[in-house]
Amino acid sequence: MNKIRKGDEVIVLTGRDKGKRGTVALRKDEFHLVVDGINVVKKHVKPNPLKGDAGGIVEKSMPIHQSNVAIFNPVTGKADRVGIKVQADGVRVRVYKSSGAEIKAA
């Protein structure tokens, strides 16, 4: 079970975007996430007249390793760790380690 999922609000712990918050847009693979507005680079794009692309310099969010982000706890206003709790009926849910409150799915 992935502790950080698409739609979760995360905060960056390290790197040039340290302290910024964003929403997970995509999981690239097992370890990398694409977060909206985080790790933005300028990419030179060739024009493609068949698709109608003008080309030029575009800004694009690049993947970031999941160890460099933590889930944002809106109650405390800080980063938090994620734990897994098994309910009585056998369903596994994600919880905040600091409070034990269940993380609501986005």
Q: How far apart are CA 56 and CA 95, in angstroms?
A: 44
The answer to whether residue 106 scores a pLDDT higher than 70 is no
Looking at the structure of the chain, the number of domains it has is 1
The angle at the Cα of 10, spanning 8 to 16, to the nearest 5 degrees, equals: 145
Look at residue 76 and tell me if it is in a domain.
Answer: yes
Look at residue 21 and tell me if it is in a domain.
Answer: yes
- For residue range 20-72, what is the model confidence (pLDDT) as tens digits? 999 999 999 999 999 999 999 999 999 999 999 899 999 999 999 999 999 99
Q: How far apart are CA 90 and CA 69, in angstroms?
A: 29
Q: How far apart are CA 73 and CA 45, in angstroms?
A: 37
Q: Give the CATH number of the domain where residue 44 resides.
A: 2.30.30.30
Look at residue 50 and tell me if it is in a domain.
Answer: yes
The reported pLDDT for the residue numbered 104 is 84
Q: How far apart are CA 40 and CA 68, in angstroms?
A: 15
Look at residue 54 and tell me if it is in a domain.
Answer: yes
Residue 47 is part of which domain span? 9-80
State mean pLDDT over 86-103.
94
